[in-house]
Amino acid sequence: MLKLEARPEASRFMSIASPLLALAITVVLGTILFIALGKDPMRGLYVFFIEPVKSAYALSELAMKATPLLLIALGLSVCFRSNVWNIGAEGQFIVGAIFASGVAMQAGPETGRWIVVPVLLAGILGGMVWAGIVALLRDRFNASEILVSLMMVYIADMVLSYLVYGPWKDPAGYNFPQTITFLKSTQVPRLFDGSRVNLGLPIALVLVAAFWVLLFRTYAGFQLQVGGLAPAAARYAGFSSRKALWMALLLSGGMAGLAGALEAAGPLGQLTPHVPAGYGFAAIIVAFVGRLHPVGAIFSAVLMSMFYIGGELAQSRLGLPKSLTGVFQGLLLFTLLACDTLIHYRIRWKSAQPHAAKPVAAASVAATGKGA
């Protein structure tokens, strides 16, 4: 029989191999799913894993999808390493888009390209404000940051709906719930002609390096990680748990807000009810698949963006529901959690032991021998 046996120490090999094994199992389960839906599994896997990378334009779309996921995952990695469970990055993403849109709509025909910087800074500020509310409630009233941050996602969504259906609705927009189209000067510059990839991609890559330095080469990052791994040791060393809480949440909120600003002032070019794309929730998976490491988040963000594009293509080409994207995301998360068990445990085959003679039967045999 198979048995889990505790390892003497965590396996470094399995910590790296676990995401790859989880991806392989996800592919196998996806194949079974396509067969169950009556679709050609090879065609389905081609749509999810080959179509998004087969041309320069496909790669540019992949990079555009991966950018917000990477930015949000960077902030969440800091939070989770600090043992602060921010589940509301989606709300911070929405508020960042709202703040950025508010600045973008103030631009006039004479406004120069310099306004892009205030637009992005406003997005960062919006995300930090929304995450700061979570930090305040946790700090002052010991409220669960998991519940508070999650519930604030719905509040942010309602604020967005109020604005685009009410005071910010475009009067010339044929009654559609959307703001005016932002002027060209306020939109994030694109990197290449004929591509939607914008300045957000190099910004995200620079921030990957910055977060790596923060986490692994600074005293502040050391404090954050010690506070998450060993709170008692952190208190004994004199590290401030309050400072770690605020720093982690503000950094996470700022990154989510920046992603929202890049989305509103980038490919969308206006604020609509469709700004919430689920990036804030998907980035939780990105952070864990990337092992809460800035460099690992790059690869997991690309993988998750493949799921997004594959889900859209499966809808148009295979007639499958778009919700298939969420199915693949969920499969990847659950298989990763299962495979992570092998970091601390190994699978052993243990043969069944023969049953020992029952005490009563053994006593009976002994008594019979004496009588003889």
Q: What is the pLDDT of residues 8-57, one digit of tens each?
A: 888 989 988 999 999 999 999 999 999 999 999 999 999 999 999 988 89
pLDDT tens-digit readout, 226-273: 877 777 778 788 888 888 999 999 999 999 999 999 999 998 899 999
pLDDT of residue 224: 87
* CA neighbor of 64 nearest in space, from 204, 246, 222: 204
Tell me how far apart the alpha carbons of residues 165 and 23 are, in angstroms, rounded to a whole number. 41
350 dihedral zone (left: phi>0; alpha: psi -120 to 50; beta): beta
State mean pLDDT over 286-315: 93
Residue 210, CB-side half-sphere exposure with 13 Å CA sphere? 11
pLDDT of residue 233: 79
Residue 96, pLDDT above cutoff 50 = yes
Stated pTM of the model: 0.90
The percentage of the chain sitting over the pLDDT mark of 90, rounded to a whole number, equals 68
Give 292 or 357, the one with higher predicted confidence. 292
State mean pLDDT over 332-358: 79
**Residue for token digits 């919006």?**
126
Tell me how far apart the alpha carbons of residues 287 and 330 are, in angstroms, rounded to a whole number. 14
Tell me how far apart the alpha carbons of residues 150 and 154 are, in angstroms, rounded to a whole number. 8
Residue 192, pLDDT above cutoff 80 = yes
State mean pLDDT over 149-159: 97
- Residue 218 tokens read as 């600074």
Residue 68, pLDDT above cutoff 80 = yes
pLDDT of residue 352: 60
Q: Which helix (H) or strand (E) holds 200?
A: helix 200-217
At residue 189, the 3 state secondary structure works out as: coil
pLDDT of residue 359: 54
pLDDT of residue 372: 47
Q: What is the mean pLDDT of the chain?
A: 90
At residue 234, the 3 state secondary structure works out as: helix
Give 343 or 369, the one with higher predicted confidence. 343
State mean pLDDT over 272-279: 91
C-alpha angle 144/280/231, rounded to 5°? 40
* CA neighbor of 264 nearest in space, from 108, 87, 98: 98
Lowest mean pLDDT among 78-87, 306-315, 342-351: 342-351
State mean pLDDT over 60-86: 95
Give 364 or 237, the one with higher predicted confidence. 237
The percentage of the chain sitting over the pLDDT mark of 70, rounded to a whole number, equals 94
State mean pLDDT over 206-210: 98
pLDDT of residue 195: 84
Tell me how far apart the alpha carbons of residues 200 and 65 are, in angstroms, rounded to a whole number. 11
Residue 193, pLDDT above cutoff 90 = no
